[in-house]
Structure 1
Amino acid sequence: MTKTVVHVTTLEQWKSVLDVWFKQGYRWNFGSKSYHEGYFERGQRLIRLISNGRILQGSLSLTFKPVEYSEFMEKQKEDSKMATVYEVSQSVFDELQRIKAHEGTSLIGAITLNAQLIKSIEIGNKAILRYLADDPAIEFKVKETLHRLSRVDDAGDKVYMEFTCGTPDWDCVKDNAFTAPLGEIKKWQTPAWEIEKVDD
């Protein structure tokens, strides 16, 4: 199901829409995070974000009501004035919740006791401290765990499932693998393919 369709007229607009979506964790339907300028150069002017967190391209169509690039970017500015959301692993999120609860001590005491842990989180101390102090402009959420499918081919090499023009295929390069949440990956699994977790 389509969530958003953006109409662009220049390659710079194409790239900036993709920059927004890549930053939010979205990828092309076949799993990559590149600009694919060739789509634009071949006349594609619509970029679609669909409900499974994937990006598709298309030419002008009456099926979808696109928003213009300027309208899309204006909404991004409005959204950026709202809370900044940081995605972290489940274990980091749990630790932040524990510190935030600061049971049996003050918040400052809990922060002091966990200073090394806070320093080790790659978000930055300022954002973490603001979050722990209940600043509504900072939010943390658990990063969705991605998975991929792999198998050993006839030559004994490990290969990964990818999509070529929408058709399942395989590739030796792990970074080219189709990645998705576990529920989506299970839809593509056959006895030949094993599910593996993508490293953070």
Structure 2
Amino acid sequence: MAETVVHVTILEQWKSVLDVWFKQGYDWNGNNEDNQQGRFKNYYYESFRDGCRQLAVSDKKSIYFYGRNGYKGKTIEYSEFMAQQKEDNKMATVYEVSQSVFDELQAVKAHEGTSIIGAIVLNAHLIKSIEVGNKAILRYLADDPAIEFKVKEPLYRLWLIDDAGDKLFFWIDYGRPDWVGAKDEAFTATLDEIKKWQTPAWEIEKVDD
């Protein structure tokens, strides 16, 4: 059973460690009455006051403590534990791009038949054309975990052919559904949202990247 054991020295540290684990979905080991009422109801401060300084969790999402500090293996000091939580909680900067651009970036990143530097040089024009900045792209291609690219959710619009044979597009004018001749002025949204506005008269099409 994999476990993590944290050593604390003061009551505030005891509570902080438990708050982290509660937030991550851990629960006290066992099925006592306190657990049935909800894991946030009891921090078992009395155990700390009795001398316990070793809080632990297992891979089964269970929290427990070692009475009389009986754990003899490697423990994590409170400061190290909290620093690791801060590191784990760092959010990556996410850039959304079209499917075609994402696929091209993956091809550069794979750099089959050449080095990553060679792939970057060969695709310099592509990299410069992506409107997120060269620095972020180069960090992503170098596997920087703080930079992430993902495919943006595609947008759709509604269209119909009128009696004159012209293609018209659905749009919303001050909250009132209407039509417009220029597709660039059409109302665009995700597929689920577009479907809310569709009637038998209108067809759905994907907006070009």
Q: TM-score, normalized by length of structure 2?
A: 0.47
Which one scores higher on RCO, CA 8 angstroms, separation ≥ 6? 1
- Choose 1 or 2 for highest CA Rg: 2
Q: TM-score, normalised by structure 1?
A: 0.49
